[in-house]
Structure 1
Amino acid sequence: MPSVIAVLAAALLFGTTGTSQALGPGDTTPFAVGVMRLLIGGTALALVTGLAAWLRRRRAPSEIRPRLAAGPLALMAITAVCLFVYQPLFFLGTSANGVAVSTVIALGSAPVLAGLLEWALTRKTPGALWGAATALSTAGVALLGFGGREGGSADASGLLASLGAGASFAILAVAQRRLLDAGWHPLTVVGAMGGGSAAISLVALPFADVSWMSDPRGALMILWLGLATTTVAYALFTWGLGGLNAATAATLTLGEPLTASVLGIVVLGERLAPLAAAGLVVLGAGLALLAWGSRTAREPAIDPGTEAHPKPFAVEG
């Protein structure tokens, strides 16, 4: 039960990302918000997971750890770069098409694109259920694109940005899976991602206009995005995955696009055209089918303290 609560809480925190940015100062840019989010949240995430990993090693000093080589280093670098790229693309999408539409497109496309990438790398056929889920999800994205918000169709550049965010996270998720399959602990994987993305953000900081941080709304927004939706959410998500099977984790993370859509409509007053509303329903059905179809044969729950961990799913904010 604690693991279920942890993953669900992480999904709900991830789901507040777009709304938080929309409620911030009006002079922000997607690039600047993304840079500051990762500079704060990535640094704190690396520190928190580093401390947790140190405490774990003190309890198990004889634990066998994989050797750090060029391959794992490259995969860790890929996760950091993809997390960094995800930020401005995600916020550009929400600025162009609203939180409800763009978040569902970004988060809904990620698991589909991750499945395609894994198929391209392994040549393993995902299966009929995955194909049906992909078809439904693609149809839902198309309906959202043609329908958009009330008063007009969706902005094409915003749609491409949201799909780009989904693609960047799909690559990130596949790289994480390969690191975990190689024996790396989730704390190490997520800590390297956080620290690496923070380092990239530090290099990018001189090119970002962050004057809006002097506004109390801007400071509050970026602290929430950095500490709550990055540090706390990723730490909860990673810890919770250690005690859940794949099916449960995938189903719980559907709380993220649901939260984002509800907040966009209720808090920000976004109104969807009928065609876009139908697209949300179709895409939701595809995501639900994808979660149900991703179950393994009675995969047992795993002790968070062991080295065997389930693979992460491509659903994050």
Structure 2
Amino acid sequence: MTEAAVATPATDAPRWQALAVLVFGACVIGLSPILVRLTQTGPAAAGFWRLAFAMPLLGIMTRRTTGTLGRPSKIGLVAGVMFALDLGFWHYGIKFTSVTNATVLSNLTPVVVTAFAWIFLRQRPRALFLLAVAVAVGGAWMMAAGKSSGGELLNPPLGNALSALTALWYALYFLAISEGRKTEGASRLMFWSSIVGMPLMLIAALLLGEQITPLALGGWLACLGLGLMHVAGQGSIAWAMGRLPTATASVVVLVQPVVAGWLGWVLFGEALGPLQAAGAATALAGVVLAQWASRPRPQPAGAAPA
């Protein structure tokens, strides 16, 4: 993550507390691909129900913290569009490939963010970052090339591609949330981004001819769980991001694919093959190395801050 993408941390909470909340949020979000599989709806429809069940809680939280829902900010609207794209691509990735592949590939976000800053903001990264990108991409290729030793997958190549594209939308969502947290509370930002994302998900589900409503009580419970997870997980991450640098946050949330991969193995028998397991570890190592390589450079003593 480059300096331009780092949010200014607030000082009203200890760093350890913000880190603990961030880890909790990432673990909760790790449940999401499992719940998506259990909703008995189409992938985009699952995203719609996730936001629909989260809306009442987000509204209550926003009213309690600010006294009013206010009006949506431009950055909140952008975050809503990016989050809808993120959910749509990721949920379809979960449908076609393994839970682990979908989650790890979608978490190449830090690499995408720094590449975005390099291309569009002309902030040239260090040579070590380029090596980190090569490591992360190599790990992603190993995951795509390897075969799972269990579970029935519909179309792994398509699912892997959709999951990798998710990293782009998630990166833009991450940047929008980081920017929005400089001036807005986490609950209000999430409320308005969800207001924007919810109809977009429903329209996508209808256009794609998906099953909109769950077929049994278990599906409804999974949809409700997605809504609660959205508030607890994304809410915790958004709150912590207002108190931690974005670079730190984007590395800590890599707890998410570890949780998702373990649950995918336990619940769906999606054990990773040797090449896939090595690829997952390599991809995550590349992401961490990219974060370390793109940390702000120390300035000489007496130099004016950039």
Native 8 Å contact 1:30 1:88 kept in 2: yes
What SS does the corresponding residue of 1:211 show, helix, strand or coil? coil
Over 3 Å counting, the alpha-carbon distance change for 1:269 and 1:221 in structure 2 is: same
Please provide the CA RMSD for this pair: 3.0
1:243 paired with 2:243, answer yes
* Deviation of the 1:245 alpha carbon: 4.4
Partner residue of 2:51? 38
* Unmatched tracts of structure 2, length 5 or more: 1-15, 299-306
Amino acid aligned to 1:97: T
* Residue from 30, 33, 46 that aligns with 1:15: 30
Over 3 Å counting, the alpha-carbon distance change for 1:122 and 1:188 in structure 2 is: farther
Moved more, 248-257 or 13-22: 248-257
Partner residue of 1:303? none
Task: Deviation per CA, 1:194-224: give whole Å up to 9, x if none.
Answer: 2222343465676653332x51110110111
Q: Please give the alpha-carbon distance, in whole angstroms, between the structure 2 residues aligned to 1:94 and 1:11.
A: 17
Q: Please give the alpha-carbon distance, in whole angstroms, between the structure 2 residues aligned to 1:278 and 1:160.
A: 19
Task: Deviation per CA, 1:30-79: give whole Å up to 9, x if none.
Answer: 12212211222245335423432338x9xxxxxxxxxx89xx52x43221
Over 3 Å counting, the alpha-carbon distance change for 1:101 and 1:197 in structure 2 is: same
- Identity between Structure 1 and Structure 2 (%): 24
Native 8 Å contact 2:44 2:202 kept in 1: no
What SS does the corresponding residue of 1:283 show, helix, strand or coil? helix
Native 8 Å contact 1:251 1:292 kept in 2: no
* Deviation of the 1:166 alpha carbon: 1.5
Task: Deviation per CA, 1:136-195: give whole Å up to 9, x if none.
Answer: 1111111111113237997221122112222211222233344456x4454443332122
1:102-181 aligned at under 5 Å gives the runs 102-107=102-107, 109-150=108-149, 155-180=156-181
What SS does the corresponding residue of 1:226 show, helix, strand or coil? helix
Native 8 Å contact 2:47 2:88 kept in 1: yes
Q: Please give the alpha-carbon distance, in whole angstroms, between the structure 2 residues aligned to 1:204 and 1:96.
A: 17
Partner residue of 1:274? 274
Over 3 Å counting, the alpha-carbon distance change for 1:245 and 1:88 in structure 2 is: closer
Q: Please give the alpha-carbon distance, in whole angstroms, between the structure 1 residues aligned to 2:204 and 2:140.
A: 32
Task: Deviation per CA, 1:2-21: give whole Å up to 9, x if none.
Answer: 32221111000111111222
Amino acid aligned to 1:138: V
Partner residue of 2:290? 290
Partner residue of 1:301? none
What SS does the corresponding residue of 2:78 show, helix, strand or coil? helix
Over 3 Å counting, the alpha-carbon distance change for 1:282 and 1:290 in structure 2 is: same
Native 8 Å contact 1:247 1:291 kept in 2: yes
* Deviation of the 1:101 alpha carbon: 1.3
Over 3 Å counting, the alpha-carbon distance change for 1:250 and 1:80 in structure 2 is: closer
